[in-house]
């Protein structure tokens, strides 16, 4: 069990009024599922979405709930916490309204991540940052979450001078449209969302290209990693690739540490790192796989080996379910951490 969530097992826990904004979307539906699985102490649930989705029915804890339209008055009712997964535009407009009503917003969009007044949190990495929240908390980018979870024990024990990210990201990271492009493309149909066919192909293109030649996704990983680790001195570069996998992001990470290390000691760190699972027995074909990560909330780490081309450098491979740990589960874990720390 993840230590971040231990408190839910002992004693009677206060119950909370919870809103899920974007409740009919891929991540919103998963948030509802994870809230139920993790037994978050929900008193009243308020699923919300756009006018187009209002009136639809979602299920939670064996009950049907009618989705209400998100408006400026949605937070007039008593709500303790709101999980947002409805896009940056919606978050920019409605998160401040909720915050003004005393609601703690955990936002899954990119809108608030780099705002200096908004904590960007992975509970296993920097839960202490939650104490500085001003009613809006940002959920990091899916690819960043699993990366920093794997890097945190290395950073704490050896320091990090440079990181090279190469990611292989599932189509569910693009939402339903990306999922359908792979599903239909696998049947020989034309793509409608990605600029090129994703079936049987890899696209070195996630989000828009910037003038620098990097994509927004690549720069999210650079900037978010530095913010979460509170270290702007780390040299970071990234190449992010969309691959024909439905669920589970895979990442090759090259790390240069500031202190020397023994590779077996690095491996052993992950036997004691909350939220990480070591899968590293290559002689027996044991290493992290997207198919194994699907449907779970952990980050799987393996292929840990020394990089002999640089001093104090190593390579690792990490995998996680991008809709769960990369989005919904991390948001719910943040909510539990708020309770554990007595903030909520």
| The two three-digit tokens of residue 321, written as one number | 């379910």
Indicate the helix (H) or strand (E) that contains 47: strand 42-49
Is a pLDDT exceeding 50 seen at residue 131?
Answer: yes
CB count, 10 Å around CB of 44?
Answer: 14
For residue 125, CA distances in Å to 42, 140, 168 come to 25, 12, 23
Q: Which residues pair with 69 in a beta bridge?
A: 49
Q: Say if CB 118 and CB 95 are below 8 A apart.
A: no
Please tell me the pTM assigned to this model: 0.95
Report the candidate in 115, 133, 271, 244 with the shortest Cα–Cα distance to residue 178: 244
Signed CA dihedral, 106, 80, 337, 24: sign only: negative
Please enumerate in sequence order all residues whose Cβ is within 8 A of that of 45, keeping only pairs 6 or more positions apart, or say none. 17, 18, 19, 20, 60, 65
Q: Residue 172 pLDDT > 60, yes or no?
A: yes
What's the confidence (pLDDT) of residue 6? 44
At 180, list the tokens.
């359908």
Residue 101 contacts by C-beta under 8 Å, 6 or more apart in sequence?
75, 76, 79
CATH 3.40.50.720 spans which residues of the chain? Answer: 3-139+327-340
- Assess contact for 118 and 127: CB atoms under 8 A: no
- Phi first, then psi: give them for residue 136, nearest 5 degrees: -130, 130
If we measure between CA atoms, which residue out of 178, 261, 253 comes closest to residue 222?
253
The four Cα atoms 87, 92, 94, 96 give a dihedral, to 10 degrees, of 140
pLDDT in tens, 201-259: 999 999 999 999 999 999 999 999 999 999 999 999 999 999 999 999 999 999 999 99
Mean of pLDDT over the chain: 96
According to CATH, the topology of domain 3-139+327-340 is: Rossmann fold (3.40.50)
Q: Hunting for tokens 């239909």 — which residue is that?
A: 184
203 CB-near residues (< 8 Å, 6+ apart): 194, 195, 196, 241, 242
Class in CATH terms, 143-322: alpha beta
d(CA 71, CA 49): 9
Please report where in the chains the tokens 């996630």 appear, as a residue. 206
Q: What angle do CA 245, 145, 339 make, to 5 degrees?
A: 125
Q: What is the DSSP letter of 111?
A: S
* pLDDT of res. 10: 53
pLDDT 10s digits, 295-338 = 999 999 999 999 999 999 999 999 999 999 999 999 999 999 99
Residues belonging to the active site: 142, 249
- Give CA–CA dist 148/226, Å, rounded: 10
6 vs 84: which has the higher pLDDT: 84
CB of 24 closer than 8 Å to CB of 58: yes
Q: Nearest to residue 28, comparing CAs of 55, 10, 3, 47?
A: 47
With 70 as the cut, is the pLDDT of residue 5 above it?
Answer: no
Residue 125 sits at the vertex; the CA angle it makes with 122 and 127, to the nearest 5 degrees, is 70
Residues of the chain with CATH 3.30.360.10: 143-322
CA dihedral 219, 225, 228, 234 (to 10 degrees): -120
DSSP state letter for 272: S
* Structure confidence at residue 11 (pLDDT): 57
**Confidence bin at 43 (pLDDT 50/70/90):** very high
Q: Tell me the two tokens of residue 10.
A: 């002992």
- pLDDT tens digits, one per residue of 86-95: 999 999 999 9
Residue matched to tokens 């009503």: 101
What is the CB neighbour count within 10 angstroms for residue 32? Answer: 24
DSSP state of 3: G
Structure tokens at 114: 């780099």
């Amino acid at each position: 069990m993840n230590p971040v969530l231990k408190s839910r097992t002992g004693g009677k826990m206060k119950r909370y009024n919870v809103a899920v904004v974007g409740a009919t979307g891929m991540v919103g539906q998963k948030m509802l599922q994870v809230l139920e699985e993790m037994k978050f102490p929900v008193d009243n649930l308020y699923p919300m979405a756009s006018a187009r989705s209002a009136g639809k029915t979602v299920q939670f804890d064996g009950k049907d709930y009618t989705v209400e339209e998100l408006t400026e008055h949605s937070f007039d009712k008593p709500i303790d916490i709101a999980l947002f997964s409805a896009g940056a535009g919606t978050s920019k407009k409605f998160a401040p309204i909720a915050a003004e009503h005393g609601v703690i917003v955990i936002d899954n969009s990119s809108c608030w991540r780099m705002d200096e007044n908004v904590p960007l949190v992975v509970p296993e990495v920097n839960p202490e940052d939650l104490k500085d929240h001003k009613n809006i908390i940002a959920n990091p980018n899916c690819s960043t979450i699993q990366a920093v979870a794997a890097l945190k024990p290395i950073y704490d024990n050896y320091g990090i001078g440079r990181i090279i990210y190469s990611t292989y990201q599932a189509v569910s990271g693009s939402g339903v449209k990306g999922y359908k492009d792979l599903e239909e493309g696998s049947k020989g149909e034309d793509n409608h969302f990605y600029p090129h066919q994703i079936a049987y192909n890899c696209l070195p293109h996630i989000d828009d290209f910037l003038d620098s030649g990097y994509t927004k996704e690549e720069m999210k990983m650079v900037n978010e990693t530095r913010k979460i680790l509170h270290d702007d001195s780390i040299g970071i570069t990234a190449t992010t690739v969309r691959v024909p996998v439905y669920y589970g992001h895979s990442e090759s990470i090259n790390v240069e540490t500031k202190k020397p290390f023994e590779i077996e000691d690095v491996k052993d760190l992950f036997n004691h790192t909350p939220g990480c699972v070591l899968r590293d027995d290559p002689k027996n074909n044991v290493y992290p796989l997207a198919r194994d990560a699907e449907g779970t909330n952990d980050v799987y780490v393996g292929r840990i080996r020394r990089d002999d081309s640089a001093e104090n450098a190593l390579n690792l491979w990490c995998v996680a379910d991008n809709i769960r740990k990369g989005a919904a589960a991390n948001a719910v874990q943040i909510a539990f951490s708020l309770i554990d720390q007595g903030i909520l």
